[in-house]
Amino acid sequence: MMLGLILARAGLDVVVLEKHADFFRDFRGDTIHPSTITLLGELGLRERFLALPHNSIRTLDAVVNGTRLHPIDFGRLGPPDDFLVLAPQWDFLNFLAAEAAQYPGFHLLMETEATGVIEEAGIIRGVTVDGPDGALEVRAPLTIAADGRDSIVRRAAGLRPRAFGVAIDVLWFRIPKPAVVPPSTLAYVDRGGMIVTIDRGDYYQTGLIIPKGGFDELKAAGLEEFHRVLAGIAPVLKPVVGSIESWDDVKLLSVQIDRLERWYRSGLLAIGDAAHAMSPAFGVGVNYAIQDAVAAANALVAPLRTGAVDLRVLDAVQERRLPPVARMQGLQLAAHRRIARPGGAAILPDPAPEPLRLALDAAMPLLQRVSARVIGRGFLPESLAPELREPARVAAV
């Protein structure tokens, strides 16, 4: 959606396919990081986006074995984009779609799913689709596979990702906020496990980290035991865990990390999860996908205005984006290995002795500066090319 918006602003003719009738999908990434807010500013959309209902936070805490830590402070980045936005992803997508609809070259086809690729003489010429009016072909000089970790377009084009073993899954569910609301807290950790809480206004979107394949065992123990586990890890949630009345209220997110060895073919480029599936760790998946889109737009606008895109241009996009993606996936894999060990995430004794608390307080400013940059900006934050920051005043190409 972001790439479609940027290309349409540049005067290009763009078709975006969405297989559903709307963007309302729960359990999706809701964090809009400072890097993305900066990009919206470059597009002149920052203030309009921030006028939408959202929560802005500068700090995120973690409670480890009863000790509250303050490892993330986006205020360390400096103004103006020194905060994180929590907003439902469907609102963000609707916002981008409405902005893109102002440009004559932007075409959003809802309830239209790509079913395969059109290949002629080894070149991808577009996609076959199934939409409200039946089967169609959408032809283009360049097809972007942005259809996620189970990408149909990627598979049809013969691109196969390399999977990295991940030993955890996540159970997602809603929990109402307790009467006494704690400070913004990203995670609660003890030797019993780890719970992530994402603030969505009047409730928490909550994730329980479990061993991969462990959902059936948890269900076999019963809901009462599930409530006990949640209350044990995050005592602040004890008054509200009973709101989970059925296993139907709990969804399994199978965590995976993979990436393509090669992100492109002649006539096709994969970005986002279609090129590199990220885990939920650090909540960076949406923002890395958007950075892919910006890097792609910067490289593609000029050649798309003249016709076919040379393979060297597509290779340059991968060469730019692969290093930061690989570094972040490496961090995620290291975090998962730690969490997957019994009691592995509980890195502090309970209770933490006073000398350790003082040492943590002394180290926290440095940790905050590092985490703000790595999580808030990423290893290679992208900036829109200056010539793309103003909408083109030409008919769509």
Written as one string, the DSSP assignment of 48-108 is: HHHTSS-EEESEEEEEETTEEEEEEEGGGG-SSS-SEEE--HHHHHHHHHHHHTTSTTEEE
Q: Are 105 and 10 in contact (CB under 8 A)?
A: no
Domain membership of residue 395 (yes or no) is no
Residue 397 lies in a domain: no
Same domain for 160 and 173: no
Residue linked to tokens 């500068």: 58
* Same-domain check for residues 39 and 134: yes
**3-state SS assignment for residue 172:** strand
> pLDDT tier at 86 (50, 70, 90 boundaries)?
confident
- Residue 196 within a domain: yes
Q: In this structure, are 133 and 223 located in the same domain?
A: no
Same domain assignment for residues 83 and 207:
no
- Mean pLDDT (the chain) is 91
What is the tally of structural domains in the chain?
2
Instruction: Tell me the two tokens of residue 257.
Output: 């990390």
Domain contains 367: yes
Answer for the pair 214, 169: CB distance below 8 angstroms, yes or no: yes
- Residue 192 is part of a domain; what is its CATH number? 3.30.70
Same domain, 125 and 206: no
Of 219, 237, 253, the residue that ends a domain is: 253
Confidence at 397, pLDDT banded by 50, 70, 90: low
C-beta of residue 288 within 8 angstroms of C-beta of residue 340: no
pLDDT band at residue 396 under the 50/70/90 scheme: low
User: In terms of domains, do 240 and 275 share one?
Assistant: no
Tell me, yes or no, whether 230 and 270 share the same domain. no
Domain that holds residue 195: 168-253
195 inside domain: yes
CA-to-CA distance for 200 and 197, rounded, in angstroms? 9
**Where is the domain boundary, 221, 253, 285?**
253
Residue 110 lies in a domain: yes
Joined tokens for residue 392? 């083109």
312-363 pLDDT per residue, tens:
999 999 999 999 999 999 999 988 887 776 655 666 666 777 887 888 888 8
Q: Does 241 share its domain with 377?
A: no
> How many CA atoms, within 13 angstroms, populate the side-chain half-sphere of residue 206?
25
Q: Check whether 149 has a pLDDT greater than 80.
A: yes
* Structure token digits, residue 160: 């196969």
Question: Order of strands across the sheet with 268-270?
Answer: 143-145, 268-270, 264-265
Provide the pLDDT for residue 356. 78
Q: Is 126 left (phi over 0), alpha (psi -120 to 50) or beta?
A: left
159 and 35 assigned to the same domain? yes
Residue 199 lies in a domain: yes
Residues 215 and 271 in one domain: no
Residue at which a domain ends, from 218, 253, 288: 253
Q: Classify residue 214 as exposed, middle or buried by CB count within 10 Å of its CB (0-12, 13-18, 19+).
A: middle
User: Which pTM was predicted?
Assistant: 0.91
- Check whether residue 158 and residue 174 sit in a common domain: no
- What pLDDT is stored for residue 308 in this prediction? 81
Check whether residue 34 and residue 134 sit in a common domain: yes
**Least reliable range by pLDDT among 181-190, 244-253, 300-309:** 181-190
Give the per-residue pLDDT at 291.
97
CATH number at residue 16: 3.50.50.60
The first and second tokens of residue 283, run together, are 């909540």
Within a domain: residue 96? yes
Q: Tens digits of per-residue pLDDT, 379-390? A: 999 999 999 998
Q: Mean pLDDT, to the nearest integer, of 225-250? A: 94
